[in-house]
Amino acid sequence: MSAVQLADGPLNYLLEGPIDAPVLVLSNSLGTDLHMWDAQMPAFTEHFRVLRYDTRGHGRSLVTEGPYSIEQNGRDVLALLDALDIDKVSFLGLSMGGLIAQWLAINAPQRLHRVVLCNTAAKIASAEIWNPRIETVLRDGQAAMVALRDASISRWFTPEFVEREPALVEPIVGMLAQTSPQGYAASCAAVRDADYREQIASITLPVLVVCGTQDPVTTPEHGRFMVERIKGARQVDLHAAHLSSVEADEAFTRPILAFLTAQ
């Protein structure tokens, strides 16, 4: 593990794969860390130099006073690329990471080749959903994170996957229980406040949208909203809940690699 020093603290990252390969950045979901992508690494590093990082407030990265914003997270990514002297990347983000991907595609398209938006939306849920969660986490701290871990299992995975693959589910939901309450609450505010419904039509980059048909948070309809507004974008629907990268695994990785490596 390495870290880049931002103005207000360290941003933790891993850079793996052939030195001369094009760079692919992976951006984690709310309440996870860079290890949520472990299953994809063997396939992705065959084709790319893969840069994954812990979003501010998560994993081993800086935890600063909130609220955060998706713009702030996007600027963290640009600072990371600048520090590593990387000019242009493809970018894959899931949920909160997909919001960061949208911000970058709208505001820094010159730094991107292709974009994959997974289990995300131009706007995710409402303040009525986010504000009570933020208040609970700030009030109850780590106890709230443990309670959220248990509540998130049914949003992140289908019941049959939870029953069939407990060894895959447990480490992922364990990331949520270990996330800093301050960082999590500040990140919830960033997701709450992000709204790209009016701006995504300005995206001109190649975009793939990946949805889970059983996702109760960001549905295939949310995906279609984005695809209908981003010229040339296309959509892949997978049998999975919110963390399709974990649940669908190869079915997730295969179409993404095809899209990212297309000439």
Each residue's pLDDT tens digit, 71-115: 999 999 999 999 999 999 999 999 999 999 999 999 999 999 999
193: left (phi over 0), alpha (psi -120 to 50) or beta: alpha
Domain range for 115 is 2-261
Write the CATH number for 150.
Answer: 3.40.50.1820
Nearest to 30 by CA among 3, 2, 1, 70: 70
In a 13 Å sphere around the CA of 136, the CA atoms on its Cβ side amount to: 12
Domain count, the chain: 1
Q: Which two tokens stand for residue 94?
A: 């899931």
Tell me the whole-structure pTM to 2 decimals.
0.97
Nearest to 115 by CA among 251, 209, 178, 49: 209
pLDDT, position 9: 95
pLDDT, position 150: 86
